[in-house]
C-alpha cells in the first residue's frame, strides 16, 4: 500500500451555491478511482431524508448521520482514504482536531458548509477549518434580487428578512432562505 499525504479541502459558500453538489462530484471521482470513501452528514439536516447527502438539484450520496466530531471519529472506517462531511458548519469546534488527525493519517478530508450564517457572520468551526485547509473552494450563488454574484444567505420569516436576534440555526431550504449579494443582504437590528 502506498502512503499518501493527507489533505484538508473546504468547500464553502452561501446556500444555493452548489456546495453539496461539489462534494458529491469529488466523492464520485474518488469512487471511480476505487478509493475507499466514507461520507457523513450532520444529523440536523433532514431536509431530503436521513442517511444521505443531497444537493438542491437532486444529486445524492448515501451518508452516515452524525451529531458531533466525537461521533464522527468513533464511526470512522479505518481503511477510508477519503472522508467527506456535508453541513460541517453545524459541527462542534472539535471537528478541526478530528480533521487534522485524519489528515495526519494520510486521509483526504473534504468538508462542505456555509462559511457565514444568515447574519453574514462566520459560522461555527468554519473559520478555523479555513485556516487549516490545504485547498479552499469558495462558491457563489446568484442574488435573487439583482442577479449579481451572491455570497450571503438571506433568512426570511414570512417573506421578510429575519432579525439579527433570530436563532442562528434553522434548517430549511427555499421556503426560508435566499441567496443575496452584499448590497441586497438585509439583517434588521444588526448592532
CB contact at 8 A, 47 and 174: no
Distance CA 160, CA 176 (A): 10
Q: Which residues contact 40 (CB under 8 A, 6 or more apart)?
A: 63, 64, 65, 66, 72, 75, 83, 84, 85, 86
Q: 78-111: b or e for each residue (b if 16 or more CB lie within 10 Å)?
A: eebbbbbbbbbbbbeeebbebbeebbeeebbbbb
* Residue of 9, 21, 87, 178 with catalytic role: 87
SS3 label, residue 69 = helix
Q: Tell me if residue 87 is catalytic.
A: yes
Triad 61, 113, 52: Cα angle to 5°? 20
Element at 98 (helix H, strand E): helix 95-104
Give the active site residues: 87
Amino acid at each position: 500500500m502506498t502512503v499518501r499525504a493527507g489533505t484538508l479541502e473546504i468547500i464553502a459558500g452561501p446556500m444555493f451555491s452548489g456546495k453539496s453538489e461539489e462534494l458529491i462530484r469529488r466523492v464520485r471521482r474518488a469512487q471511480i478511482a476505487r478509493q475507499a470513501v466514507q461520507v457523513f452528514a450532520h444529523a440536523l439536516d433532514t431536509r431530503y431524508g436521513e442517511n444521505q447527502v443531497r444537493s438542491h438539484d437532486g444529486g445524492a450520496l448515501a451518508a452516515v448521520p452524525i451529531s458531533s466530531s466525537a461521533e464522527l471519529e468513533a464511526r470512522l472506517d479505518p481503511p477510508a482514504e477519503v472522508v467527506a462531511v456535508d453541513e460541517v458548519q453545524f459541527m462542534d469546534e472539535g471537528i478541526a482536531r478530528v480533521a487534522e488527525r485524519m489528515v495526519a493519517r494520510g486521509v483526504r478530508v473534504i468538508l462542505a458548509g456555509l462559511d457565514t450564517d444568515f447574519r453574514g457572520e462566520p459560522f461555527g468551526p468554519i473559520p478555523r477549518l479555513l485556516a487549516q485547509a490545504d485547498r479552499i473552494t469558495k462558491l457563489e450563488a446568484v442574488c435573487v434580487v439583482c442577479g449579481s454574484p451572491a455570497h450571503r444567505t438571506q433568512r426570511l420569516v414570512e417573506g421578510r428578512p429575519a432579525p439579527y436576534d433570530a436563532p442562528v440555526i434553522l434548517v430549511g431550504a427555499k421556503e426560508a432562505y435566499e441567496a443575496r449579494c452584499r448590497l441586497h443582504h438585509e439583517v434588521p437590528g444588526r448592532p
